[in-house]
Amino acid sequence: MSEEKVVPFIEHLVELRKRLVVIVIAVVVGMGIAWNFSNDLLRFIEKPLTGATYLTEIKKTVYAKVKERAPALYAHYKLDQEVNAPQKNRPLNYSAPLEPFFMQCKISMLAGFILVLPIVFYQVWLFIAPGLTRRERRMVVPFVTAASVTFCIGALFFLIVIWPVIINFSLSYEAEGLQSWFNISAYVNFCLRLILVFGLIFELPVLTLLLARFGIVSYQLMAPKRKYALLASSIIAAFHADLITMFVIMIPMYLMYEISIWVALIFGKKKITVESEPPGQAA
Protein backbone atom coordinates (compact mmCIF):
# COMPACT_ATOMS: atom_id res chain seq x y z
CA MET A 1 0.00 0.00 0.00
CA SER A 2 1.46 3.40 -1.01
CA GLU A 3 2.11 6.18 1.50
CA GLU A 4 -0.52 8.39 -0.19
CA LYS A 5 -3.20 5.78 0.54
CA VAL A 6 -2.00 5.00 4.09
CA VAL A 7 -2.17 8.61 5.33
CA PRO A 8 -5.86 9.21 4.40
CA PHE A 9 -6.76 5.79 5.83
CA ILE A 10 -5.11 6.67 9.16
CA GLU A 11 -6.85 10.05 9.15
CA HIS A 12 -10.20 8.29 8.70
CA LEU A 13 -9.44 6.00 11.63
CA VAL A 14 -8.49 8.97 13.82
CA GLU A 15 -11.70 10.74 12.83
CA LEU A 16 -13.73 7.59 13.51
CA ARG A 17 -12.15 7.22 16.95
CA LYS A 18 -12.96 10.84 17.74
CA ARG A 19 -16.61 10.38 16.81
CA LEU A 20 -16.88 7.11 18.75
CA VAL A 21 -15.40 8.73 21.86
CA VAL A 22 -17.99 11.51 21.70
CA ILE A 23 -20.79 8.96 21.23
CA VAL A 24 -19.61 6.85 24.17
CA ILE A 25 -19.40 9.90 26.45
CA ALA A 26 -22.88 11.01 25.37
CA VAL A 27 -24.33 7.54 26.01
CA VAL A 28 -22.71 7.40 29.48
CA VAL A 29 -24.22 10.79 30.34
CA GLY A 30 -27.60 9.67 28.98
CA MET A 31 -27.32 6.46 30.98
CA GLY A 32 -26.77 8.49 34.15
CA ILE A 33 -29.93 10.49 33.44
CA ALA A 34 -31.97 7.40 32.53
CA TRP A 35 -30.86 5.58 35.70
CA ASN A 36 -33.30 7.72 37.73
CA PHE A 37 -36.33 6.29 35.92
CA SER A 38 -35.03 2.82 34.97
CA ASN A 39 -37.35 1.16 37.52
CA ASP A 40 -40.34 2.87 35.92
CA LEU A 41 -39.22 1.55 32.53
CA LEU A 42 -38.92 -1.96 33.95
CA ARG A 43 -42.45 -1.75 35.36
CA PHE A 44 -43.68 -0.56 31.96
CA ILE A 45 -42.27 -3.57 30.10
CA GLU A 46 -43.65 -5.82 32.87
CA LYS A 47 -47.24 -4.59 32.36
CA PRO A 48 -48.20 -7.23 29.77
CA LEU A 49 -47.47 -9.93 32.38
CA THR A 50 -50.68 -9.01 34.19
CA GLY A 51 -52.65 -9.94 31.08
CA ALA A 52 -54.26 -6.48 31.03
CA THR A 53 -53.35 -5.01 27.64
CA TYR A 54 -55.14 -3.37 24.74
CA LEU A 55 -55.74 -6.91 23.45
CA THR A 56 -57.81 -7.62 26.57
CA GLU A 57 -60.00 -4.59 25.89
CA ILE A 58 -60.47 -5.60 22.25
CA LYS A 59 -61.40 -9.12 23.36
CA LYS A 60 -63.97 -7.77 25.84
CA THR A 61 -65.54 -5.58 23.17
CA VAL A 62 -65.78 -8.48 20.71
CA TYR A 63 -67.22 -10.83 23.35
CA ALA A 64 -69.79 -8.20 24.32
CA LYS A 65 -70.98 -8.11 20.70
CA VAL A 66 -71.14 -11.92 20.64
CA LYS A 67 -73.19 -11.93 23.86
CA GLU A 68 -75.58 -9.38 22.39
CA ARG A 69 -76.09 -11.08 19.02
CA ALA A 70 -75.46 -14.76 19.80
CA PRO A 71 -76.07 -15.42 23.51
CA ALA A 72 -76.25 -19.19 22.97
CA LEU A 73 -72.80 -19.22 21.40
CA TYR A 74 -71.52 -16.98 24.20
CA ALA A 75 -72.81 -19.39 26.83
CA HIS A 76 -71.68 -22.53 24.99
CA TYR A 77 -68.01 -21.46 24.84
CA LYS A 78 -68.14 -19.94 28.37
CA LEU A 79 -66.76 -16.65 27.17
CA ASP A 80 -67.83 -14.98 30.39
CA GLN A 81 -64.96 -16.79 32.13
CA GLU A 82 -62.45 -15.07 29.88
CA VAL A 83 -64.13 -11.68 30.20
CA ASN A 84 -64.24 -11.87 34.00
CA ALA A 85 -60.86 -13.58 34.42
CA PRO A 86 -58.94 -11.89 37.26
CA GLN A 87 -55.56 -10.33 36.61
CA LYS A 88 -52.66 -12.50 37.72
CA ASN A 89 -49.54 -11.35 39.49
CA ARG A 90 -46.59 -12.75 37.57
CA PRO A 91 -43.42 -11.26 39.07
CA LEU A 92 -40.10 -11.57 37.33
CA ASN A 93 -37.57 -13.84 38.99
CA TYR A 94 -33.79 -13.89 39.23
CA SER A 95 -31.40 -16.69 40.13
CA ALA A 96 -27.96 -15.06 40.15
CA PRO A 97 -26.37 -12.46 42.46
CA LEU A 98 -26.59 -8.88 41.15
CA GLU A 99 -28.73 -10.01 38.22
CA PRO A 100 -31.37 -7.27 38.77
CA PHE A 101 -28.59 -4.66 39.02
CA PHE A 102 -27.12 -5.65 35.66
CA MET A 103 -30.58 -5.58 34.10
CA GLN A 104 -31.07 -2.08 35.49
CA CYS A 105 -27.75 -1.10 33.88
CA LYS A 106 -28.87 -2.48 30.50
CA ILE A 107 -32.22 -0.69 30.65
CA SER A 108 -30.49 2.57 31.61
CA MET A 109 -27.93 2.16 28.82
CA LEU A 110 -30.55 1.68 26.11
CA ALA A 111 -32.72 4.49 27.48
CA GLY A 112 -29.65 6.72 27.67
CA PHE A 113 -28.75 5.84 24.09
CA ILE A 114 -32.23 6.85 22.94
CA LEU A 115 -32.01 10.11 24.90
CA VAL A 116 -28.82 11.14 23.09
CA LEU A 117 -29.83 9.92 19.62
CA PRO A 118 -29.50 13.43 18.11
CA ILE A 119 -25.87 13.54 19.27
CA VAL A 120 -25.21 10.03 17.96
CA PHE A 121 -26.63 10.77 14.51
CA TYR A 122 -24.89 14.15 14.40
CA GLN A 123 -21.55 12.43 15.00
CA VAL A 124 -22.34 9.95 12.23
CA TRP A 125 -23.09 12.88 9.94
CA LEU A 126 -19.84 14.63 10.86
CA PHE A 127 -17.93 11.47 9.95
CA ILE A 128 -19.44 11.24 6.46
CA ALA A 129 -19.69 15.02 5.86
CA PRO A 130 -16.18 15.44 4.34
CA GLY A 131 -17.28 13.29 1.38
CA LEU A 132 -20.38 15.41 0.70
CA THR A 133 -20.91 18.56 -1.30
CA ARG A 134 -21.74 21.87 0.35
CA ARG A 135 -25.38 21.54 -0.72
CA GLU A 136 -25.62 18.00 0.67
CA ARG A 137 -24.15 19.09 4.02
CA ARG A 138 -27.14 21.36 4.53
CA MET A 139 -29.28 18.25 5.09
CA VAL A 140 -27.72 17.70 8.51
CA VAL A 141 -30.69 19.03 10.53
CA PRO A 142 -33.38 17.11 8.57
CA PHE A 143 -31.25 13.95 8.74
CA VAL A 144 -30.59 14.13 12.49
CA THR A 145 -34.20 15.03 13.26
CA ALA A 146 -35.75 12.38 11.00
CA ALA A 147 -33.36 9.63 12.11
CA SER A 148 -33.95 10.36 15.82
CA VAL A 149 -37.73 10.59 15.47
CA THR A 150 -38.13 7.44 13.36
CA PHE A 151 -35.99 5.38 15.76
CA CYS A 152 -38.19 6.50 18.66
CA ILE A 153 -41.35 5.74 16.66
CA GLY A 154 -40.05 2.24 15.95
CA ALA A 155 -39.22 1.65 19.62
CA LEU A 156 -42.61 2.95 20.79
CA PHE A 157 -44.44 0.96 18.11
CA PHE A 158 -42.81 -2.19 19.42
CA LEU A 159 -43.43 -1.47 23.11
CA ILE A 160 -47.06 -0.38 22.69
CA VAL A 161 -48.28 -2.62 19.85
CA ILE A 162 -46.00 -5.63 19.38
CA TRP A 163 -44.69 -6.40 22.88
CA PRO A 164 -48.16 -7.05 24.39
CA VAL A 165 -48.92 -9.40 21.46
CA ILE A 166 -45.79 -11.47 22.09
CA ILE A 167 -46.34 -11.72 25.85
CA ASN A 168 -50.07 -12.37 25.47
CA PHE A 169 -49.32 -15.20 23.06
CA SER A 170 -46.78 -16.65 25.48
CA LEU A 171 -49.23 -16.49 28.41
CA SER A 172 -51.92 -18.23 26.34
CA TYR A 173 -50.05 -21.50 26.92
CA GLU A 174 -50.69 -21.39 30.66
CA ALA A 175 -52.84 -24.27 31.79
CA GLU A 176 -53.29 -26.56 34.75
CA GLY A 177 -49.84 -27.94 35.46
CA LEU A 178 -48.13 -25.44 33.13
CA GLN A 179 -47.44 -22.00 34.58
CA SER A 180 -45.18 -19.18 33.45
CA TRP A 181 -41.97 -18.39 35.36
CA PHE A 182 -40.11 -15.55 33.67
CA ASN A 183 -36.45 -14.94 34.39
CA ILE A 184 -35.60 -11.24 34.52
CA SER A 185 -32.51 -11.57 32.30
CA ALA A 186 -34.26 -13.53 29.54
CA TYR A 187 -37.32 -11.25 29.70
CA VAL A 188 -35.47 -7.91 29.68
CA ASN A 189 -32.79 -8.96 27.16
CA PHE A 190 -35.47 -10.18 24.77
CA CYS A 191 -37.38 -6.90 25.06
CA LEU A 192 -34.32 -4.64 24.71
CA ARG A 193 -33.03 -6.56 21.68
CA LEU A 194 -36.34 -6.14 19.89
CA ILE A 195 -36.51 -2.43 20.76
CA LEU A 196 -33.19 -1.99 18.95
CA VAL A 197 -34.36 -4.14 16.03
CA PHE A 198 -37.55 -2.13 15.53
CA GLY A 199 -35.73 1.16 15.96
CA LEU A 200 -33.31 0.16 13.20
CA ILE A 201 -36.10 -1.18 10.98
CA PHE A 202 -37.83 2.20 11.08
CA GLU A 203 -34.55 3.87 10.05
CA LEU A 204 -34.75 2.27 6.59
CA PRO A 205 -36.90 5.02 4.96
CA VAL A 206 -34.58 7.72 6.35
CA LEU A 207 -31.52 5.93 5.01
CA THR A 208 -33.26 5.48 1.66
CA LEU A 209 -34.18 9.18 1.57
CA LEU A 210 -30.56 10.13 2.15
CA LEU A 211 -29.21 7.74 -0.47
CA ALA A 212 -31.91 8.73 -2.96
CA ARG A 213 -31.07 12.42 -2.58
CA PHE A 214 -27.45 11.60 -3.29
CA GLY A 215 -28.47 9.59 -6.35
CA ILE A 216 -27.11 6.30 -4.97
CA VAL A 217 -30.46 4.47 -4.98
CA SER A 218 -33.63 5.08 -6.95
CA TYR A 219 -37.17 3.82 -7.38
CA GLN A 220 -36.14 2.02 -10.56
CA LEU A 221 -33.41 0.22 -8.62
CA MET A 222 -35.48 -0.78 -5.58
CA ALA A 223 -38.91 -1.60 -7.00
CA PRO A 224 -37.91 -4.73 -9.00
CA LYS A 225 -36.14 -6.17 -5.94
CA ARG A 226 -39.22 -6.61 -3.77
CA LYS A 227 -38.90 -10.41 -3.76
CA TYR A 228 -35.31 -10.16 -2.55
CA ALA A 229 -36.38 -7.75 0.19
CA LEU A 230 -39.05 -10.20 1.30
CA LEU A 231 -36.50 -13.01 1.32
CA ALA A 232 -33.98 -10.91 3.28
CA SER A 233 -36.68 -9.93 5.80
CA SER A 234 -37.57 -13.59 6.30
CA ILE A 235 -33.92 -14.61 6.78
CA ILE A 236 -33.26 -11.84 9.32
CA ALA A 237 -36.48 -12.62 11.21
CA ALA A 238 -35.67 -16.34 11.21
CA PHE A 239 -32.85 -15.74 13.70
CA HIS A 240 -35.56 -15.44 16.37
CA ALA A 241 -36.65 -18.75 17.79
CA ASP A 242 -40.43 -18.55 17.89
CA LEU A 243 -42.76 -18.15 14.93
CA ILE A 244 -44.72 -15.21 16.34
CA THR A 245 -41.61 -13.08 16.90
CA MET A 246 -40.41 -14.00 13.43
CA PHE A 247 -43.58 -12.65 11.84
CA VAL A 248 -43.78 -9.48 13.94
CA ILE A 249 -40.25 -8.64 12.75
CA MET A 250 -40.58 -9.76 9.15
CA ILE A 251 -43.82 -7.89 8.36
CA PRO A 252 -42.75 -4.41 9.60
CA MET A 253 -39.34 -4.86 7.99
CA TYR A 254 -40.86 -5.56 4.58
CA LEU A 255 -43.40 -2.75 5.02
CA MET A 256 -40.52 -0.35 5.71
CA TYR A 257 -38.95 -1.48 2.43
CA GLU A 258 -42.19 -0.71 0.60
CA ILE A 259 -42.31 2.73 2.21
CA SER A 260 -38.67 3.23 1.25
CA ILE A 261 -39.51 2.51 -2.40
CA TRP A 262 -42.06 5.32 -2.43
CA VAL A 263 -39.69 7.60 -0.53
CA ALA A 264 -37.11 7.02 -3.27
CA LEU A 265 -39.74 7.78 -5.92
CA ILE A 266 -40.96 11.01 -4.31
CA PHE A 267 -37.73 12.44 -2.91
CA GLY A 268 -35.13 10.83 -5.16
CA LYS A 269 -32.69 12.79 -7.27
CA LYS A 270 -34.39 13.66 -10.54
CA LYS A 271 -32.52 12.78 -13.71
CA ILE A 272 -32.28 15.58 -16.21
CA THR A 273 -32.89 14.27 -19.69
CA VAL A 274 -31.74 16.33 -22.66
CA GLU A 275 -33.68 15.73 -25.86
CA SER A 276 -31.44 15.38 -28.88
CA GLU A 277 -32.29 17.32 -31.99
CA PRO A 278 -33.66 15.33 -34.95
CA PRO A 279 -31.18 14.61 -37.72
CA GLY A 280 -30.87 17.42 -40.21
CA GLN A 281 -32.20 20.10 -37.84
CA ALA A 282 -28.86 21.25 -36.54
CA ALA A 283 -27.92 24.79 -37.47
User: What is the tens place of the pLDDT at every residue in 49-95?
Assistant: 887 788 778 878 888 888 888 888 878 777 777 767 777 788 899 98
2-16, 83-97, 104-118, 266-280: segment of lowest average pLDDT: 266-280
33: closest CA among 21, 41, 44?
41
So what's the pLDDT on residue 71? 83
Are 168 and 48 a contacting pair, CB within 8 Å?
A: yes
Q: pLDDT band at 20, cuts 50/70/90? A: very high
Q: Which residues pair with 175 in a beta bridge?
A: 178
Report residue 130 CA to chain centroid gap. Answer: 29
Q: Is the pLDDT of residue 276 over 70?
A: no
So what's the pLDDT on residue 26? 96
Q: What is the pLDDT of residues 181-225, one digit of tens each?
A: 899 999 999 999 999 999 999 999 998 988 887 778 888 889 898
125-139, 173-187, 215-229: segment of lowest average pLDDT: 125-139
Are 122 and 37 a contacting pair, CB within 8 Å?
A: no
The residue type at 157: F
What is the mean pLDDT of the segment spanning 145-174?
Answer: 90
User: Cα–Cα–Cα angle for 143, 144, 150, nearest 5°?
Assistant: 85
Q: Which of 10-19, 39-48, 137-146, 232-241 has the highest mean pLDDT?
A: 39-48
In DSSP notation, 235-269 reads: HHHTTSSSHHHHHHHHHHHHHHHHHHHHHHHHHSP
